[in-house]
Amino acid sequence: MNALVKNRIHSVLLAITVTLMMMVAAAPLAAYSVDNSLGFTVSQVFSDSSNSTNATFTYRLKPLVATNPMPAGSTAEGYTFSITGKDNKNVSPIYFSKTGIYEYTLYNVAGTGQKGYTYDSHVYNLKFFVDGSLNIILVAFNADGTKAENIVFEAGYHTAATDPKLMVDPPVKKTVSGKPAKNSTFSFSLVAKNASCPMPAGSANGVKTIKIVGAGEGEFGTWSYTKAGTYYYSVHEVNSGDTEYTYDTAVYSIKDTVTDEDGQLVLSRVVTNNDNKKVTDMKFVNKYTKGGGKDDGKNGGLKGSTYKTGDNMNALLYIVALAASGIFALIIVACLKRKKKDSSLA
């Protein structure tokens, strides 16, 4: 080998060394090795740590050039590995035998995560710089060319809200006993135990009120849940103060249990009455009484009229006085007859 060739080789090696040193100074250092092999660490984190315990995602390291060295256990598709939960993976070392720059891509294999999770679509470009002494520096780059501090994949977890169409909306059934001349309007309220609970459209501060004219049915409407948990509501009739009606005081309870089934929120609803028995509807019965138990002055005191308490007392006193007068008259008559008899005997 002549001197010219040796100088050129030396220049190339020097250039590589200078480049490596510049990379070390200018870029976050992912890994460094002073021998001919180098592994690296991949971290998996979750935006919602409470749902990360059993989630498993698969990742793949793939060479940009097919002849690039690969970790043990690689296949034609690349080097594939999985991470479960919040954990780190130490990738098997890659052995290099020649000076150069070796490039790879590292990414999350789409569709390998569990239901309800979203995978990180981040793609890292890994560059291994190998100098003449087979010392190695690894620098990781993001897809946009910026340098990465660490190789981290962040998975997300999401749940699909409950389907309002699948919510059982038990109707309010209103019955009126008696014969009112016209239909009255009755109000019913759905009340959330916690004002922050989901409610149907038209609600305010955890309350939704509907109206039913006369006897009939009504519904409060449906809604969806976006979080698992247990939610409580109650339904009652609003007493509007109409004295001609005796209002039903029943209170119905609604218990909604929302569970997360592989990322889909599922609702189970139970409706119970005052006796804690399950029901499929909420029945309210109001009793109508004409005049509301008061004399409206239209019957003129005739039969069928409803008297006030004072009127009833006056009538009773009159009857007692009349009876007393009759008894007194009988006593007088008896006394007169006795006197006449005594006179005749004399």
Listing DSSP states for 67-92 in one string gives TS---TT-BTTBEEEEEESSEEEEEE
Burial of 141 (0-12, 13-18, 19+ CB in 10 A): middle
Task: Please state, in angstroms and as integers, the Cα–Cα distance from residue 126 to each residue in 9, 29, 58, 74, 107, following that order.
Answer: 26, 12, 18, 17, 11
Domains and CATH numbers, the chain: 3-157 (2.60.40.3050), 164-293 (2.60.40.3050)
Edge-first strand listing for the sheet containing 37-46: 87-95, 37-46, 152-157, 117-118
Q: Is the pLDDT of residue 165 over 90?
A: yes
| Among 80, 81, 83, residue whose Cα is nearest residue 52 | 83
Burial of 173 (0-12, 13-18, 19+ CB in 10 A): middle
- Separation CA 93–CA 59 (nearest Å): 16
pLDDT digits (tens, 9 = 90+) for 83-137: 998 999 999 999 999 999 999 999 999 876 677 788 899 999 999 999 999 999 9
- pLDDT, averaged across the chain: 82
Would you say 113 and 55 are in contact if contact means Cβ atoms under 8 Å apart? Answer: yes
The count of other CB atoms within 10 Å of the CB of residue 155 is: 24
The predicted pLDDT at position 159 comes to 85
Would you say 162 and 198 are in contact if contact means Cβ atoms under 8 Å apart? Answer: no
Which phi and psi (to 5°) does residue 12 adopt? -65, -45
% of the chain residues with pLDDT over 70: 73
Q: What is the mean pLDDT of residues 233-246?
A: 95
Q: Which residues contact 201 (CB under 8 A, 6 or more apart)?
A: 221, 223
- Pull the structure tokens for residue 329: 């008259």
Task: Please state, in angstroms and as integers, the Cα–Cα distance from residue 69 to each residue in 97, 105, 315, following that order.
Answer: 9, 13, 117
Q: What is the mean pLDDT of residues 257-270?
A: 93
Task: Name the residue type at position 231.
Answer: Y
Furthest-apart CA pair in the chain: how many Å? Answer: 189
Name the more confident of 221 and 50: 221
The count of other CB atoms within 10 Å of the CB of residue 96 is: 21
What residues are paired with 153 via a beta bridge?
Answer: 44
Helical H segments across the chain, by residue range: 3-26, 309-345
What residues are paired with 21 via a beta bridge?
Answer: none
Q: What is the mean pLDDT of residues 157-185?
A: 93
The predicted pLDDT at position 37 comes to 95
The predicted pLDDT at position 294 comes to 44
Is this model's pTM higher than 0.75 or not?
no
Q: What is the mean pLDDT of residues 301-311?
A: 35
Least confident of 46-60, 162-176, 235-249: 46-60
